[in-house]
Amino acid sequence: MAGHSKWANIQHRKGRQDKLRAKVFSKMSKEITVAAKMGDPDPDKNPRLRLAVKEAKSSSVPKDVIERAIKKAVGGEAENYEEIRYEGYGPNGVAVIVEAMTDNRNRTASNVRLLFAKHGGNLGETGSVAFMFERKGQVSYPASVGDADTVMMAAIEAGAEDVESGEEEHVVYCADTDLNDVSAALEAALGESLSTKLVWRPSTTTDLGLEDAQKLMKLIDALEDDDDVQTVTANFEISDEVMAQL
């Protein structure tokens, strides 16, 4: 029975991973389609599409999935998605920004509001938490690309604003409008990045204990599991001790 139980657990875990992978592909395909529909279908002539394709490739989205998403936009087969940003508070007053793409604003607003309420948070008005974040470009590299000084010098020369270096990766930040130029300069100096995207970077953060951290993770997981939600960002800090318990 133990062997059967282990196999069942492995199957369940694989099923969960496959589901998450499919969701990532779906969300990135949607972003690619919208970007191609709003501008030129050629990534070299469309900065937003270029970033979307690059991010999709870094997440191992197959080439045929990317090409199919662009063709949907060019062929007029793509749905009319509306981009919406929701702002609210999670457990212990943590600020949360949710970015969504939807073909039904009422459905998405209702779902997001319900998820906030269900997991100890509440949905706020537009602008209620955005002032606690800055819109930035973010380029990530593995730690193996070089030491902190090497990456810092490359970032300065590329026109970036800040670098955070850790044991696993280097994260370079720049003005949102400079992301394409900075990422191109970094690639010339350091090679292909792990990830290149626009993010909401918290300017203030809230420290969380174990209980609130667990509640917040459940809220974020639930929001990210919604098909209309593209990204979820929150301004929290978790100590190494709490992270180990999580």
Q: Which of 24, 43, 74 is the last residue of a domain?
A: 74
For the cut 90, the answer to whether the pLDDT of residue 4 exceeds it is: no
Q: Based on the fold, state whether residues 164 and 188 are members of the same structural domain.
A: yes
- Which residues, at least 6 apart from 203, have a Cβ–Cβ distance to it below 8 Å? 132, 133, 134, 235
82-115: pLDDT as tens digits: 899 999 999 999 999 999 999 899 999 999 999 9
pLDDT of res. 202: 93
Q: Which domain holds residue 41?
A: 2-74
The alpha carbon torsion through 69, 108, 18, 8 (nearest 10 deg) reads -160
The span from the CA of 113 to the CA of 122, in Å, is: 7
Q: What CATH number is associated with residue 49?
A: 1.10.10.200
User: Which among 51, 74, 97 is the end of a domain?
Assistant: 74
Same domain, 64 and 168: no
Could you report the per-residue pLDDT of 19-47, keeping only the tens digit for each?
Answer: 677 788 888 888 888 888 887 888 888 88
| Tokens 């009422």, residue located | 106
Q: Residue 232's beta-bridge partner residues?
A: 98
Tokens of 182: 């900075």
Say whether both 94 and 214 belong to one domain: yes
Alpha-carbon distances, residue 98 vs 16, 41, 67, 94 (angstroms): 23, 27, 27, 13
- Count CA atoms within 13 Å of residue 75 on its CB side: 8
Q: Do 56 and 174 fall within a single domain?
A: no
Among the residue ranges 61-65, 120-124, 187-191, the one predicted with the least confidence is: 61-65
DSSP E strand stretches across the chain: 82-89, 95-102, 122-123, 133-142, 162-165, 169-175, 195-202, 206-208, 229-234, 236-238
Residue at a domain's end among 20, 41, 74: 74
pLDDT digits 0-9 by tens, 44-89? 888 888 888 888 888 888 898 888 888 888 877 667 888 999 999 9
CA distance 225 to 235: 20
In this prediction, residue 10 carries a pLDDT of 44
Which CATH number fits the domain that encloses residue 210? 3.30.70.980
Q: How many helices (H) and strands (E) does the chain have?
A: 8, 10
Q: Are residues 64 and 174 in the same domain?
A: no
Q: At residue 15, does pLDDT exceed 80?
A: no
Binned at pLDDT 50, 70 and 90, residue 12 comes out as: very low
- Asked if 34 and 103 touch (Cβ cutoff 8 Å), the reply is no
Q: 139-184: per-residue pLDDT in tens?
A: 999 999 999 999 999 999 999 999 999 989 999 999 999 998 999 9
